[in-house]
Each structure stands twice: as C-alpha cells, then as structure tokens.
Structure 1
C-alpha cells in the first residue's frame, strides 16, 4: 500500500536549508536531502504519519510525530533503522514559520518506535501557534496548535468530540470536515483503533494489505502496525494537525469489553496483562501525550483535567483500567466501581473545588440509563456501560448534587449513535431532578453508513423519557461554549462506505448556564 505524505503541498524545495525564521531548523552544509537521509539510514520521507499536538495548557503544549518512512512495514518499525535519530522542532507565531519563538532537538529512539513527544513551555496563553519537525534533511508539514486561555479568562471556546473510527468499514470524511473548523481542542474518547483482523482488501477501502493485518492484534509490533495503518489516513492526519488532540483509551484500543485486569475470552491474567501492556505502549507512541502518561508495566496514567480559563474545566476520565469486571447482576453492588477509588475521589474533589462556569466529563461509555425494550417488565441494560455500575453512577451523580457543581456536562463516545439525554439520580422517577445532561456522539466510521432513525431508536425514545434525541449516522460533535450557553452541534455524514461523503448539521441542543436540562437550539 502506498501511503501519501501528510499534504501534497510538501515538496523537495522545502527540504533544503531554510531561510528567514526557520534558518536554524536544519544545517545540511554541503549535503543534499538524499545524502542527509542516506546518512541517517532512512529509506524515504519519514513524516508519513503527520504531526500532532495535545494536552494544551495556558503556557504549554505537547508536540508529537513519529518517524515512519514505510508505515506499513510488517514488523511495526515503520521502515526505520534500529538506531536513534535526531529530530529538530520549531514553534512559531505564524503559519509561514518566520516568527520562531521556541526550537530544540530531541532523540527519536527505536525503543519507542521513533516517536517524538516534546513538551514546549514558555508560550503565551489563549493563542494559536504553528510547529514542524525536521529529520535527516526532511521537513514535516506544519501543524497548528493552541494554548488554553489564562486562568481568569471567560473567552468562548470551540471543542470537538470524536470516537470509534474502525478503519476498514469507512472513510474518515468527518475528519476532513473537522479539520476545517479551527477548534480550540479535540477530545478523542476512545476506540482510535480496532483490534480485529482486517481482510486482504482492507474492507470497504479496497486497499491491498499484507497478511500481517489479518490477525487480531496481540503483540506490540501488531498494535504498532494497526496504529500506523489508521494513522496514515490523510483526513485523520489533517485533523490531528489542525488543533490539539486530547486522547484516552476505550475497549477496542486493547480488546473489546475489557475491564481492569479481565477480558471476556477469559485469557489468563498474565496473558491479558501482557497484551494490555503492548496496547498501551503503542497507544502512547502514537498519541500526543505528556511524559506523565508514559506507560509503566501494564499501567498508564490517563485521567487528567484541562482548564479553559474560568469558562470550562474538562475532566478526562479513564473508564477501563480501574473498573470492576462486567457483571450486570451485580450492578447495584456499592463495592463495584467504574473509575476505581482513587480516580473517583480525584474527580469528586476536583468537581467540588472547581470554580469554572462549565464542568465537563469526557466520558467513554454511556452514563444515562438506557432500557432497550419497551416492555417495563423486561428491562434490558448494557453491562459495559454505566448501567452495569449503577451504584457507582448513583454515587457520582449524588456527589455532583451534594457539591453543587456548576453546570455539569457529560460528553460520551462508544455507542456508534447520536444521543442526547438528561441525567437523574433516579432514572425510574421521571420527576427526579435533573443533575446534568449527556451528549453521546456517534462514531467516525464504526457501524458503516447508518440511517437517521431505526426501529430500535424509536423504541429507545419511547421507553426512556429522559432520552431526547436519537440518530444512527456517522460524524462528530462540535461544542460552542460561552459564559451563558453550552451548544452541542451534531454533525453527520451521509455516507462513509465510499469516499466523497457530505457532512451536515443534523441537530443542535443548548444548555443555559445556571439551569439544568437541555433544549433545542
């Protein structure tokens, strides 16, 4: 499979010694680009997986790239030699990279698949920056990032939420649209990759793939290869270069429906933890994550918070590593946990201390109670969602109420459908006060084209009075946040099984600051 460069705008003339503000990025002397690359042992252009930034702060961002001249090399090393390579980076105040404000050099090590994670400090709050990398005489494309506003700022922000992007079942049309939105940040809620084998023609993509792609991912080389396959998509590359990405794992990033140290096929604990360690390591290698998330053994620190001035605080949750095993029969057991004791305490303490206008939970799996059948005597609940952890959900929603948390909003992925619901401590009582509202965003591709409404969707709406909206198309969520309103736009794609789909606004909901409950915009 031929993997195109991140952008057709990159040309050989860009790969020579730079002029103006970028003059310090490369010092090739008398060497040509080909000679510089050859001296480093690279067979081809190394930035085929693009660039990205993440976890923004008022004075800092994380910059990422991975050197991979042959991203789909079966061994997972991306065509790189087994030796360290020096990579230079620059951050500028303009897209032409003339007003450079930070620059440096870092080593890309084969131990971490030649991925690069650079924490850039000393930036100004609430403003756009542009960045790029160079290695072996080659330049990456330029990416855009943005720092968060200063602590006391109530400047409006625009956020994107995405999830579930199974590569072989659809094209990443939603990402092409997202890349044009000029967002302040994008939160990826999980299922960045899918662990199952892919057939020889790449599913609907019609791309010939080697036999290495046809097996389920179990080992580190296999997870690296799957991330390389997904990450080589040009629309995803464009989206990741357009705004800071905030990433967290869900089940398919490791294995379907895994929970803590357990998984559904009942592999031995030792074998599953070995697999989990490989998956988390590859996830770190391919995501714009800070050093604080560096994997240790089979664990990875992923829950964290992002502050957008005084306007919004986003609590990024990890609902896989610490949860109790799936057991719908024990859903009311108070000893069971979705977040683990430490994360639950961190979240409630943080919510209680927050003075932000909006308090946002970046949440992997559906939180509101969803009865999938209309017969009230036959309640059908999904054990992998918060419905399987009802006592833990009640603790969380009660804790939010007791702490009088201002304007809580829950943003969710995983479900492959668009849903909007109010959250109550007691879902059996329609008169129970609304604690918060939840926006569930559909998948980027998973589930294929879908449709606006299904018979199951009609049943869900009839059986769940707190559920306000259902849609079964693909797309993403765009949120406009001001001191007075939170607006969620449901952007949907008419088709993903063929290229050239069209993205449009399906519906918008508003929450007014100081008032619980969502309503149409």
Structure 2
C-alpha cells in the first residue's frame, strides 16, 4: 500500500493547474527570494552540514544547540555571504549520535531556524522513516505534493536528482539550456524560493535532514560525463576532453553544491582519467544513508510516495 503526503482536498487540482497553464500564469510568475532559508544535510552519527541563504548579502551567524530555546550549549559559526545568489554552509563535527539538534541562521535582515537528528550508533536497532523525491521543474513550483512532508517526522529526506531542469525554460530562466554559472544559480534558486505564497521545499529542508544527489537535468538530459565532449553536439562550444571537463558541466555541479547542504567530497588520484579528482557526490550520499542503522522489525508500516 502506498500513501501520499498530499493529504486532504487540494486547491491545486489537476483541473486548476491545467487552467493556469493555459492562461500562462504558472509560467509567467517568477519566484520570490525568501529573506532567509536554512537546511541541514549529510547528517551522520557525529557530523552534519548546515546551509543558509540570505536574500541580503552580508554576515550570517549559524548557531546550533540541543536546547530548543538556545539557552545552553550554543555553538556558533560566522560566515560571509558575498552574493545574494550564493548561499553559505559549514560542516559540523563532534556531534552526539541519536540526538536532535536545533539551529538558526541570522543574517543582515532576517533569521530562520531548523532542526535535524543525528543517526544512532552503528549496531543500534532503530526504526527508519525517510522520504524520496526529485524532478523539480521551476515552472511547477511550489510543489504542493510535499507540503505536509515537513510535519511527518522523517529521519531524512532524499532529493534523488533532477533537482532542477537546466535544459527546460522556466519563469526565472526562460532559456532552452543553462550555460553560465549565473544561469544555473538562478535556476536552482528558483526551485527553493517562494512562489504563489508557498515554499514547500524550504519548509521540508528546514525540518528534516537532507541527502541530495544529482541525476542528469542538473546539467542536461541524458548526458554521459565520461564521454568525449565532441561526441555530444550540445557541448561543442565548451572546452575540455570529456563532457565532465566542460564549463557547462562544472557550472551545473557547482550550483548544485552551492544550493544543497552536502559535503564537497572528491576522489584523489585514482589512476583513471574519468574519475581522478572528480566529485564523489553520489557515493557520499548513499554512504550517508547506509550509515543509518535499520531493523526490519521496526520497518515503517507503509511506503510513501511523493507525487510530483
């Protein structure tokens, strides 16, 4: 049996969405950058990554504690956001397993808060409740199908790729293909900003630990990173031997890292030119998920799907 997080009657019925599309209103409405949004990700037993995005560049103070009201045990990190389209993030270490942490980010004009729970010690039998989704096209925001996932007390939420569609026009970036770093940043910011008065992904990402990885649309549809650049005409104006060496690929991957609370883990000298010093984003995401102990005797009673 499958359950959806889309509970109760929705004002975003298929009929109303279709009507809005015909009227052009969905495509014409641009996203609004929120004053401050926050997230935590790559959460393991003793480590995590905090992320914050302020609409106004400047000093951002990240604080975290096991105390909901930040009365005791508060740790702080101060970062500088230099560009309104480039969020900040910081790795945390020395955390306690199986513990809920509360955090907040204070910028020049706004504050936002969130929470996450670290994984239990290895070998611990514990229940595991998580959500999975992907394929966020900018013109389809604000994704009402996940609007109540934030209150579902999930251990983590896996953003399973195609977090943007860089190869499809949207209100904020009406281009057939993102090419510049600015294009990719605007496209990603669009997905995580308020539209029509809702920001369901911001609510989810502040309340639940995030694991995120890429698929293909973060760059372009069905690209083969290890293939030679000249084998795909879509990269003919780029430079580099492989598609994964091109400017378009690197811009897409950089924007992904900037807008997600993930570690930027890279391979070393593997001896293989297709992987040497490349990103380990998929490996690190799956390893973080695998480090959360799971017992079949505590399995959730039903699988849940996130319709998009």
TM-score normalised per structure 2: 0.73
Shift of 1:109: 4.4
1:58 maps to 2:45: yes
Change (3 A) 1:291 1:169: closer
Shift of 1:170: 5.4
Q: Which residue of 1 aligns with 2:100?
A: 128
TM-score normalised per structure 1: 0.45
Deviation track 1:159-196 (CA, whole Å, cap 9, x = no partner) reads: 11111121214541122121111111111110000013
The structure number with the bigger radius of gyration is 1
Q: What stretches of structure 1 move > 6 A for 4+ residues in a row?
A: none
1:254 maps to 2:219: yes
Q: Which has the higher strand share?
A: 1
Change (3 A) 1:298 1:486: same
RMSD: 3.0
Deviation track 1:60-117 (CA, whole Å, cap 9, x = no partner) reads: 2110012334xxxxxxxxxx4xxxx43211112243333343222223345x954212
Give 1:301's match in structure 2, choosing from 271, 274, 280: 280
1:491 maps to 2:278: no
Give 2:120's match in structure 1, choosing from 142, 149, 166: 149
Shift of 1:293: 5.5
Instruction: Give the total of aligned pairs.
Output: 257
Q: Which runs of 5+ in 1 are unaligned?
A: 6-44, 70-79, 203-208, 313-480, 497-521
Measure, in 1, the Cα distance between the counterparts of 2:104 and 2:178.
Answer: 31
On the 8 A contact 1:191/1:252 being kept in 2, the answer is yes
Change (3 A) 1:188 1:143: same
Measure, in 2, the Cα distance between the counterparts of 1:250 and 1:308.
Answer: 19
On the 8 A contact 1:155/1:309 being kept in 2, the answer is no
1:164 maps to 2:135: yes
Shift of 1:246: 0.7
Q: Which residue of 2 aligns with 1:115?
A: 87
**What secondary structure sits across from 1:241 in the alignment?**
helix
Measure, in 1, the Cα distance between the counterparts of 2:296 and 2:115.
Answer: 23
1:92 maps to 2:71: no
Q: Which structure exhibits the higher relative contact order, with contacts defined as CA atoms closer than 8 Å and separated by 6 or more residues?
A: 2
Shift of 1:124: 1.4
Measure, in 2, the Cα distance between the counterparts of 1:300 and 1:309.
Answer: 20
